[in-house]
Amino acid sequence: KQFNLVIKNGIVVTSGDSGPLDIAIKEGKIAYLAADIDANLAEKVIDAEGGYVMPGGVDAHVHVAQDFPSGANGVSAQCADNFESGSRSAVCGGTTTFLSFAHQNRCDPSILEVVEAYDKLAKESGSYCDYGYHVIITQPDIEMLQRELPVLVKNWGITSCKLFMTYAALQLRDNELLDVMFEARKLAITTMIHAENGDIISWLTDKLQEKGMVEPRFHAQSRPPVVEMEATSRAIVLAEMIQNPVLFVHVGSASAAEVIRSTQTRGFPIYAETCPQYLHLTWEDLASKKFHSPQCFENAKLICSPPPGPDNTDQELLWTGLRNGTFTIYSSDHCAFRYHDVRGKALGIIQHKESIEGSTCPIDDDHVHEIMHGKTGNFKYIPNGCPGLETRLPLLFNYGLAQGRITAERFVELTSTAPAKLYGLYPKKGALMPGLSDADLVIWYPEGHIKPFSLTNDHLHHDADYSPYEGMEFKNWPRYTILRGKVVWAEGELLGSKTDGQYQKRKPSQLTMSAVKTARTDRRRVATWLYQ
Ligand code: DUC
Ligand code: ZN
Ligand code: ZN
Ligand code: ZN
């Protein structure tokens, strides 16, 4: 037969168009789009019954198989998910490619060795979907960068790095941020910035501790929105100085979004990402509207950094940013820690106890469930992050697209096309171009086809033991996920395997460099001689 698979009767949506089209797939690629493709030409046919058919999700911000330095005593927190479980939840939620982080610790002299070790983890566990890496740089030795960054780009196709402006173990000073931006610019590497002022956070955290305000809900008080706004403004000044393309990851505060917006309007191109937690959670949730009492340790489940905004006003402003282009991409920042786990959220109780009693607390996995009920902990020892890989697309579909907050085309742009362009995967990913694009698709149910349901963690396929979105109502969910022509998820059934996913070598960003070269910049803000 001429085609391996034909998808009929769908509303095909790309970032630019939508319409009633059939799609033919051959050898893992999009082969042909037309109003009516003969079903007899295909080995297999899927009837989309009028549902949306879109390019598979590209989640550009995921943490799997990563350790995080946590608390003061050097114990590290461990991600709930590895490549296998993370990618499994990805395909069950319509995502066909994710980018995760190879994390340099300060004691690691070589980022290449970090990437090699991380790749070994991926190969050992396998992946249900396609994947690639960013690198987190915490020890920016210039000679190392000059030696290794070109190899990273050439051999690994890694064209992006993440830098932190907070966390004692990760935080870079301004001169170090400049060092990396300067080297990154030479190779068209996109710099991803975690913008929070680490010094303000640790100062406020000490003040909260003095007053005994240590429960999980006070995490947000240690990081009021100005913390993010200041760091965002400062990083923009640095980026403009160097004329380096930056992307602000996980923007949570409306005031940071405003600074980003006004910089874009002024004509200096910067890019930003927001995530589901900032559209659906508020300080009120952290103060346990969801759980039993304001003192409840269970609020630790919602702790992430930056924290969600104070109330719905911020959320609405972020929705506006998704519509008007302030945000280029929408990613999960899936950074799952198990709640009942001595290397997960429970660290907030264990290390708190140790810090009071001054000795090592003999708590193991068997006892952790017991201690977590009725006990309080200290937010400063709780690892920061929430699960969200599988719920990313369904949340934006149900609460954005279905409620008329964004169009179907914008949905595709935010979740697939723009991340693919931003990180050099386009048009292999993020598009439906015959002959060029991988046949990665997500097909939704037609409206009203499934009974609305309330989300429980049992629905999900990650290894985390909770979701921040349990209890929310869903009227739609990915019906089919297709990875390079193979149906890997169909009507609630996982059909893929952990040998399906392939590593993706990436090109330089297809958004940032040309934009920076044509940037309108104020000469008073820029050291032009630097890059002549
Ligand atoms: N930054 C992330 O990107 N993810 C989780 C925690 C953090 O600080
Ligand atoms: Zn971050
Ligand atoms: Zn993250
Ligand atoms: Zn329990």
**DSSP codes of every residue in 465-497:** S--TTTT-EES--EEEEEETTEEEEETTEE---
User: In the chain, count of helices (H) and strands (E)?
Assistant: 16, 21
* Range 109-117, long-range pairs (CB < 8 A, 24+ positions): 109/139, 109/141, 109/144, 110/144, 110/148, 111/135, 111/137, 111/144, 111/148, 111/149, 111/152, 112/148, 112/151, 112/152, 115/152, 115/156, 115/158
Residue (of 168, 98, 96) closest to 138 by Cα position: 168
Lowest mean pLDDT among 54-58, 161-165, 177-181, 372-376: 372-376
Residue 193 CA, ligand 2 centroid: distance in Å: 8
Tokens of 72: 């003061």
Tokens of 196: 């929070």
58, 414 Cβ separation under 8 angstroms: no
Residue 373 CA, ligand 4 centroid: distance in Å: 6
161 lines ligand 1 (CB under 6 A): no
- Cα–Cα distance for residue pair 321/278, rounded to 1 Å: 12
Q: Is 362's pLDDT higher than 60? A: no
185 lines ligand 1 (CB under 6 A): no
- Cα–Cα distance for residue pair 464/56, rounded to 1 Å: 23
Atom 7 (ligand 1) nearest CA? 305
Neighbours of ion ligand 4 (CB under 5 A): 369
249 lines ligand 1 (CB under 6 A): yes
316, 280 Cβ separation under 8 angstroms: no
Q: How far is CA 186 from CA 18, 101, 153, in A?
A: 39, 22, 11
pLDDT at 76: 83
Phi, psi of 374, deg, nearest 5: 85, -10
Tokens of 176: 């170090």
Q: Is 372's pLDDT higher than 80? A: no
516, 243 Cβ separation under 8 angstroms: yes
Atom 1 (ligand 1) nearest CA? 305
Q: Which atom of ligand 1 is nearest to the CA of 196?
A: 8
The number of angstroms, rounded, from the C-alpha of 481 to the middle of its chain's C-alpha atoms is 19
Q: What does the pLDDT look like over 245-275, one tens digit per residue?
A: 899 999 999 999 999 999 999 988 899 999 9
Say which DSSP state 509 is in: P
Residue 145 CA, ligand 2 centroid: distance in Å: 21
pLDDT at 72: 47
pLDDT at 530: 79
Q: Whole-model pTM?
A: 0.96
